[in-house]
Amino acid sequence: MIKTLLIHPDELTEKRADEFCRAGIDVIGLHPTGGKNAADSLAALVEKLGTREYRDVIDYAIGRGLKIEYCMHAFSYLLPRDLFGKHPEYFRVGEDGKRTSEYNLCASSPEAVDILSDNAVKLAKSLYRSRDRFYFWSDDADKRKCNCDKCKNLSFADQQIIVLGAVARKLRKVFPGAGVSYLAYFSALDVPTTAKEDGVFLEYAPFLKWTKGDEGEKTKIPALLGYFGKENSRVLEYWYDNSLFSHWRKPPVRFTPDEEKIRRDADFYAKCGFEEIASFACFLGDDYEELYGKPDFAPFVRAIERATSRRRPTERYGKNSATANFSGNAVV
């Protein structure tokens, strides 16, 4: 099973690529910071990707056999908020009945969906040597659906499908076979009721387990996999998310992986039929190493390899296996 770790863009160095490679990691996900300023951190990443210096680091990582992908909260970046002045109708109606440029968009505005998906194609083209799996997540907040007359009977999950379906259709014209992630967390944990869209795959992130101690969200997995299918599905865990454990403030806290927990969770996810398992691993860069020494990624790799080997052969090599279906080739 493909093993991915997500780190902040400035945490990628040649040294880090060597360490990931030695540890047995397959993919590095570059994740600009989320939260309220996600659009700015994504803009900064795009700028960084234009520099020879940063491209050299990515080339180095790929030369070592790693793959690169980009994972970010992107809707505010893809539908610029300064359009609100002229086109408030592009934006969502909040629970108070007022239009607001804060978070996401009106999924029933064809113009807004068009602009967002055109910009998604532009963004995809600027993601240097990315895999053809794109992670253009909705904005990083709960309960931010549109409540306008046209949207009010659509759940947040349905609104996501409308937007991501349009993104996938446009992306696939330029990158045939590309996929776009449906990030199932917060209210997107509900199963959509609208028709499934090709090219949209499930990415399940158990955020509430970590922030509220609520394990209930995993009961949603069978229905989500039933809707999206297992093909290309992945879990995005927080096992190594030292930014979460540090409450998103530097300096980072000391981190020790909980191997037993990782193993238990990984076995569960493999049994559910997920094709890939990823974890955030932010705040474990050079500054971490200076304070506490090298972080240990071996428990993550061991747990996933063990979980994969415990799958039945049909699950490992069947039509849903990642190796059978997905090339993982760089597209840019």
Determine the Cα–Cα distance for residues 51 and 148; give it in Å rounded to an integer. 42
Partnered with residue 100 across adjacent β-strands are: 92
Looking at beta carbons only, is 99 or 218 nearer to Zn ion?
99
Q: How far is CA 296 from the centre of its chain?
A: 23
Interface with Zn ion, residue 163, by CB under 5 A: no
Stretch that binds Zn ion, among 3-11, 146-154, 168-176, 252-260 (CB under 5 A): 146-154
Report the distance separating Cα 113 and Cα 234, nearest Å: 25
| Pure H helices in 198-258 | 207-211, 221-228, 242-245
Residue 328 φ/ψ region, left for φ over 0, alpha for ψ in the -120 to 50 degree band, beta for the rest: left
> Residues 6 or more apart from 82 whose CB is under 8 A from it?
none
Which one of 7, 151, 166, 184 is in contact with Zn ion (CB under 5 A)? Answer: 151
Supply the minimum distance, in Å, between the C-beta of residue 92 and Zn ion: 6
Which residue in the set 7, 146, 154, 284 belongs to the binding site for Zn ion (CB under 5 A)?
146
Output 2 or 163, the one with its CB closest to Zn ion.
163
Whether the ω angle into residue 251 lies within 30 degrees of 0, i.e. cis, is yes
Among 4, 76, 101, 108, binds Zn ion (CB under 5 A): 108
Q: Which is nearer to Zn ion, 23 or 146 (CB)?
A: 146
For residue 256, what are its two tokens? 């020790």
Q: Directed axis angle between helix 38-49 and helix 110-126, to 10°?
A: 40
Which residue among 28, 68, 106, 183 contacts Zn ion (CB under 5 A)?
Answer: 106
Residue window 199-228: x/- pattern of binding to Zn ion, with contact defined by CB under 5 A: ------------------------------
Assess 116 for contact with Zn ion (CB under 5 A).
no
Query: By CB under 5 A, is residue 78 in contact with Zn ion?
Result: no
Distance, in Å, from the CA atom of 114 to the CA atom of 111, rounded to the nearest integer, reads 5
Q: Which stretch binds Zn ion (CB under 5 A): 7-15, 100-108, 202-210, 225-233?
A: 100-108
Residue (30 or 106) nearer to Zn ion, CB: 106
Q: Interacting stretch for Zn ion, rule CB under 5 A, among 108-116, 199-207, 217-225, 282-290?
A: 108-116
Task: Determine the interface stretch with Zn ion among 29-37, 64-72, 105-113, 204-212 (rule: CB under 5 A).
Answer: 105-113
Residue 97 or 313 with smaller CB distance to Zn ion: 97
* Residues in Cβ contact with 245 at an 8 Å cutoff, skipping those fewer than 6 apart: 253, 255, 283
- Distance, CA of 248 to CA of 241 (rounded, Å): 10
* Sequence-ordered list of residues with C-beta below 8 angstroms from that of 269, at least 6 positions apart, any chain: 235, 277, 307
Cβ–Cβ < 8 Å for 132, 79: no
By CB under 5 A, tell whether 270 contacts Zn ion: no
Least distance (Å) between residue 187 CB and Zn ion: 15
CB of 166 to Zn ion, least distance (A): 14
The footprint of Zn ion (CB under 5 A) covers: 106, 108, 146, 148, 151
